[in-house]
Chains A and B, each alone.
Chain A
Amino acid sequence: MSWAAHEFENYVLQRHAKTSASFLAIAVGAFGPDLFTKGLVYGFQLGPFGFHADDPMRFHRAAAGVGFTHSLLFGVVFAAAVLRLTRSRPWALGLLLGCWAHALTDMNDTAGSMLFFPLSTVPVSTGMWHHTASLGRYGDAASYYSSLGGVWDAAWMVAVLVFARRTLTERYFRDVVRPTDARTWDWIARRFHIDERGLLAIYRGWFFYGACRLVAWSAYTRLRTDQPIDLSWAGAYPIGGGALYDGTWSQWAVRAAAGAAATAVVLAGSWRLILARWWREAGEPDAQPRSDLAIAGQSVTTP
């Protein structure tokens, strides 16, 4: 699984989506696949009771567990349901982008993501680092930040700072992010009495959290564990790590190609039969002028 990359990729997606997708929806979508399952993957204690998956990797990524959350169709179903309920295009598109980014990023560990579930259960994996959730949260962190996973996170942080640094500015937040999802940001401002500076801090919070946890977990790994750094492909951490697929390459290629083709057909068919109509009915996003975005107790100046 990926760690801080899930926070950084939100800003790169936002940079490209601009006003067509809500940043908050991208962020929720990026959490979506793990939102209700990560606790059981690592295990947690509630008073005298302990809860954990017997086989964290299979529970997290296989068809027998909640691996469906890391598929392309999961993102489509999630986004379509939100589109139908809220009629918000920016939220539907944001959720779709976030879910897909999460699934695609997570396919870099040895467990991989069942991208084409339920049409194919074959996991797609580059095997760049080991899926070591069975070591628990701290063991997984030590393994991840001693392998190419840490490099992957750092690369995403650099990508934000080099290619999407404008998305972190106050002006970008004021002119692009907030107007795209004005209702939600205004609701947050009103409900929790947060001023413009606070909303900007929340928006930047994902980058802050990603950067700080990259540094903190790397420091923890170096200072408080004896995990050696291994930047070879997959790293040398077979303990607790592993892969979900043990067939031959050619079998995998056939099943993956069939799954990809079937998924493409289902996506195209769903769009033509249902989703395009829902998209049209949702209408254009509210083009709310900046002057209408003033919230209680504060004024917003039009640039």
Chain B
Amino acid sequence: MHPWRRLGRVIAAHEEGALYVLAALVYVPSGVLLRSIALNWIVGILFPLFVVSVVPSLVRRARGAKEAGA
């Protein structure tokens, strides 16, 4: 199996964990560059909520609407 496809399967099997890792990979560089804007307790504590829960549910809803439209 192609390595990228294998990686995709691993990520799909551990979606929630992968999203936390993704959140950290986005948040840490943003914190280094933006500092106070990103590295404060409101953004910092709520960031995983958006990446792990809000964004996936919006994506699922958009996909559902698209499939219903088709």
Contacts and interface: CB of A to CB of B under 8 A. Distances in A.
- A, B bound: yes
Interface of A: 31, 137-138, 194-195, 197-198, 201-202, 204-206, 208-209, 211-213, 215-217, 219-220, 223-224
A209 B45 contact: yes
B43 to A, nearest CB: 8
Contact of B20 (A198, A208, A209): A208
Contacts of B16: 197
A75 B47 CA distance: 29
B44 A201 contact: no
B39 A217 contact: yes
Residue among B20, B28, B47, B48 with max Cβ neighbours from chain A (10 Å): B48
B45 A206 contact: yes
Contact of B24 (A194, A211, A220, A223): A211
A212 B39 CA distance: 9
Interface string B33-70: 00110110100111111011110010000000000000
A216 B45 CA distance: 15
A300 B52 CA distance: 19
Interface of B: 16, 20, 23-24, 27-29, 31-32, 35-36, 38-39, 41, 44-49, 51-54, 57
A226 to B, nearest CB: 16
B32 A216 contact: yes
Given A209-B44, A216-B27, A220-B32, 4 more contacts: A205-B45, A206-B45, A208-B47, A212-B31
Contact of A205 (B31, B35, B49): B49
Contact of A219 (B32, B36, B38, B46): B32
A216 B28 contact: yes
Contacts of B31: 212-213, 216-217, 220
A137 B52 CA distance: 29
A219 B54 CA distance: 28
A224 B45 CA distance: 25
A218 B24 CA distance: 15
A223 B32 contact: yes
Contacts of A198: 49, 52-54
A72 to B, nearest CB: 24
A208 B49 CA distance: 11
Contact of A220 (B23, B35, B41, B51): B35
A209 B41 contact: yes
Contacts of B57: 195
A215 B45 contact: no
Contacts of A220: 31-32, 35
24 contacts: A31-B41, A138-B35, A194-B49, A194-B53, A198-B52, A201-B48, A201-B51, A202-B46, A204-B20, A204-B48, A205-B45, A205-B47, A208-B24, A208-B44, A209-B44, A212-B24, A212-B28, A212-B31, A213-B39, A215-B28, A216-B28, A217-B31, A219-B28, A220-B35
A51 B52 CA distance: 37
Contacts of B49: 194, 198, 201-202, 205
A235 to B, nearest CB: 22
A211 B25 CA distance: 12
